[in-house]
Chain A
Amino acid sequence: MPAKVAAFTYYLPETTYTNADFANDFPETKLQTLQKIGVEKRHITPKGQTSSDLAFAAAEKLFTENSIPRSEIDFLIYCSFDYDHYTPATAGILQHRLGLSTRCGAFDMGLGCSAYVYGIATAVSLLETLQLRNVLLLTASSLTHKIHAKDRGNRFLFGDAASATLISFSEKKQTGPFTFGTDGSGAGQIMVPHGGMRTPLNETSFEESTDEFGNVTTPASFYMDGFGIFRFTVATVPGMIEETLQKAGITRNDIDLFVFHQPNVFLNELLRKKLMIPEEKFVHCMKDFGNTVQATIPIALTEALKEGRLKPGMKVLLAGFGVGLSWACGIIDYE
């Protein structure tokens, strides 16, 4: 489709949580074991700040770095689990805060690890169908707020962040094709069970349970079946990538850079080997961020660009997979 991913950036909250902080909180854990996860530092959204604040800061950064006129944004998509209020949509609040036109469309998208690829695909469809010029895609995660203080595994893995991406009409560049997948039978594999309409918070919501490895959680906190997700990923991601390449009529060798969601380095390294992708074509970007859910791919793109690994003219494959269960893959021609 005639569209390009024109610009992207990210924003991190100032508060950090390093492996030294982690070692203080969990002195019984051997950090050496966790090195394969590939995280050394995460940023944490402090109390009083919201995911939409992070998204706002990321968007401001994007406008400043790229001198994009705000009046030319036709659509705003906000992807997050975190909304300012039960209603109205946070995207509308952001439209006003960012000083975007009142002729700008805006809506929220509640996906997680697959959100960024979904967001780009949706933006491209809007550009084409409505003949728009620019879509602003914002993603933000403050998942650490939902992780129990004694949930060792997840506190090591996750960090908070936001991203801003501009997707624009282009006569020269192509974005796509995309493939998507959903398996709601795995909804419980990554979940905050209580606090939504199905099970409102009640007297059992804060009852602690401890798994065989000593990780503590409650029904009101984030839960992830790490082993189940591992199996899902290994079983699903290679097929999704092959399907996308087939749709595009190209092979793996035609892709210059593979940028996946970053759940942990160990898992992505296994996927890389399974797909026989050479190291120089694969981006790992976890060390200073952790798993930032909706923000991992745009952070990895930004860092790859800074490091000179992402260059104009490259064909880039993006893959998001996780909570839902939901997965999406797409190919972009980077300008």
Chain B
Amino acid sequence: MSEAMDASPVGSEMANGSSDQLQLVTFGVGDEEFAVDILAVQEINRMMPLTRVPQSPPEVEGVINLRGRILPVINLRRRFGLEDGERTSASRIIVVDVHNQTLGFIVDRVHEVLRIDSGIVDPPPDMVCCVRLDCIAGVGKLDDRLLILLDLERLFAPADVSGYANMNCAA
């Protein structure tokens, strides 16, 4: 089921990144393109059966069985306050380690593993689309598109990890 980094066009050359280079996993939620540091990402999986958890916070989609471990899965669309989208064959669950808790989040599609120069990343503007400032680590300007770098630590802040009720990140 796991197809770790299958979208990577960069391949093996990305093994040694210098400090000026950022290695990012980019993915789409809604119309926007987001990116997270590759080091935070454990693996990327195709959608798998989810078990709904009664009375859990709304953005918790459910739990999955990842090789015997039970992990919570967050619906990033709901986290960002977007309408629930259609699950397609492109939907993925990105598994990350945040605050010593392994969790997964659902994205609409995973694009690629990208190596960019940290110079092209600007500090976040006041407001980008629907996601509030404090969850954004920066904005990367590529030739024809804009990449929103997410700060996972803040996106899934400890207050959230132990209770998503406090949604300071969502619009």
* A and B pair up: no
